[in-house]
Structure 1
Amino acid sequence: MSTRTTDLPARWQELFGEPAAMRLASADGPTGGNGGGGGGGGEDLAHAGGPWSKAAVAAGELRITTAEGLGRMAAAHEGVEAGTAGLAATAALAAVRASWEKRVAAVRDECGSVQSALRNVAREIGEIDENNRLRFSYLVTHRDASK
C-alpha cells in the first residue's frame, strides 16, 4: 500500500515532497525505467509479488513443456531400433537423441529450480512490503497521537 503525503508528518512531507513517491533513478523522462510502457517516471516503484510470481509461473510452464517434449520424443522413437537394426543411422540417431534428452532434461530441471527461487523472492518481497506498510502505519498513527 502506498502512503499518501497527507498521512505523513510535516517533516517527512518536506523530505519526500509533493506527492510522496519512490522512483528509480532511471525512471526520469517520458518512458522512465518501465521499458517504454505508459506512465513514465512519475509512478511509484511497484515490485511486490506480481513480476516475480509471473516469472515463476512462466518457469513452471516451461518446465512442464520440456517434460512433455521429452515424453513425445521417447514415444516418437519407440520401435525405431527394432525396424532399423544394423543400420549405421540407427546408432547415430540414438546418440543424437541421448544428447538432446540430456539437454532438454537439464532445461527442465533448471526451470524447476528457478521457479522455486522466484516464488521465494515473491513471498519474501510481499512479506517485506507488508512489514514496511505496518511500520509506516505505526509511525503515522503514533506521530499523530503524540501531537
Structure 2
Amino acid sequence: MSDAERWRELFGPVGDSPAMKLASASNDAGAGSGGTGRLKHSSGPWTSASGTADDLRTRAATSRSVLGRGHEGVAAGAGGLGSAAVLKSVLTSWEERLRAVRDECEQLKGLLLAVAKEMGESETGVKSSLKGVHVPGKADEKR
C-alpha cells in the first residue's frame, strides 16, 4: 500500500468528510465523543517534555561518565585476554550511543521549549484579539 493510499484510508478521499477526526475538535455530541468543537492546547505539556528531555540528557552524560570510570584499569588487569578487546569495543559502542542520546535530547529540549513558547504567544495573541469582540449573552450575564 502506498503512502497516498494510507492517507486516503485514514482521512478519506479528497472532498469527502474525513474518516478520522480529533476527538477534541469534534462537534459530534455522540456517546463518548468528548468533543467541544474547539481544539485546546497549552504550553504545559511541551514545557514538561522539554524538562524530561533535559533530565534524560543529564542522565545520559552521567551514565557515560560512570561507565567510563567503571572500565578504568580493565585493560591492564585483563592483559593478554581476548575478552579485553571485545570489552573495549562494547564500551566504545555504549559511549557512542549515550553521546548520541545526550546530543539528541539537547536538541529536543530546545525544540520543545520553542513549541511551548510559540503556543503560549499564540494563545495570548488570540485572547487579546478577542477582547473587543461582543458575544451576545456573555456581556449581559456579567451585568
Letter in structure 2 aligned against 1:82: A
Larger RCO (CA under 8 A, 6+ residues apart): 1
CA RMSD of aligned residues (A): 2.4
Which ranges of 4 or more aligned residues in structure 1 deviate by more than 2 Å? 25-32, 40-46, 138-141
| Cα distance per residue 1:9-47 (max 9 Å; x no partner) | xxxxxxxxxxxxxx4139865554xxxxxxx33495431
Partner of 1:24: 25
2:118 pairs with one of 121, 124, 136? 124
Partners of 2:78 and 2:84 within 8 A in 1: yes
Q: Give the distance between the partners of 1:62 and 1:121, measured in 2 at CA.
A: 19
Q: Give the distance between the partners of 1:53 and 1:27, measured in 2 at CA.
A: 31
Shift of 1:84: 1.0
Shift of 1:140: 3.6
Letter in structure 1 aligned against 2:47: S
Shift of 1:139: 3.0
Letter in structure 1 aligned against 2:70: A
* Percent identical: 35
Letter in structure 1 aligned against 2:26: A
Shift of 1:132: 0.5
Partners of 1:30 and 1:41 within 8 A in 2: no
TM-score when normalising by structure 2: 0.69
* Residue-pair matches, total: 113
| Cα distance per residue 1:77-99 (max 9 Å; x no partner) | 01111111121110100001101
Letter in structure 1 aligned against 2:52: A
Change (3 A) 1:88 1:121: same
Change (3 A) 1:31 1:62: farther
Q: Give the distance between the partners of 1:45 and 1:80, measured in 2 at CA.
A: 57
Q: Unaligned stretches of 5+ in structure 2?
A: 1-23
1:72 pairs with one of 63, 66, 70? 66
1:126 match: secondary structure? helix
Matches within 5 A, 1:1-147: 23-25=24-26, 31-32=32-33, 40-42=34-36, 45-140=39-134
